[in-house]
Amino acid sequence: MKSMEEMLAAAQKAAETIQTQMGEAQAKLDTIEVEGSAGGGLVKVRATARGRILGVAIDDSLMKVEEKQMVEDLVTAAFNDARDKADRRAATEMEGIQSGMGLPPGFNFPGMG
C-alpha cells in the first residue's frame, strides 16, 4: 500500500494535469469560430466558442431609419444564435476533453461551467 504522502502527491499531480488540460481546452475554444445569423442571413454575428464576439455584419438593405427596430431585433437574434452555437460547440469540445481524461459525461469542473 502506498503511503499517504505518495497518494496525496499523486492526487496533486492528477489535479495539476487536469487543470493544465482544462486551460488548454479553454484556449482552444477561443480559436474556434461560430457564426449566428438572423433574417435569412441579413444579420450575421461571428463569435468564438467561448462566446467572445468577433464581428457583426448587417446587409446594406437594412440600413434605413424606418428599419431600425427590425435591425435591432435581428442583431439580438443573431447574437443569441451565435451564443447558442458557441455553447453547443464548447460542450462538444469539453466532452471530448473529459472523455480523454476518463471523466464521466457532464462532469463540471468548478469555475468552468
Q: How confident is the model at residue 6 (pLDDT cuts 50, 70, 90)?
A: confident
pTM here? 0.65
pLDDT mean across residues, the chain: 84
Nearest to 57 by CA among 79, 87, 33, 83: 79
Q: Which residue shows C-alpha cell 484556449?
A: 27
Asked if pLDDT for residue 4 goes beyond 70, the answer is: yes
pLDDT at residue 104, as a whole number:
61
Question: How many other CB atoms are found less than 10 A from the CB of residue 41?
Answer: 11
Over residues 10-54, the pLDDT tens digits come to 888 888 888 888 888 888 888 999 999 999 999 999 999 888 899
The pLDDT value given to residue 113? 47
State the pLDDT at residue 108. 60
Decide yes or no: CATH 3.65.10.10 for domain 4-100.
no
What sections of 1-113 are H helices per DSSP? 4-29, 68-100
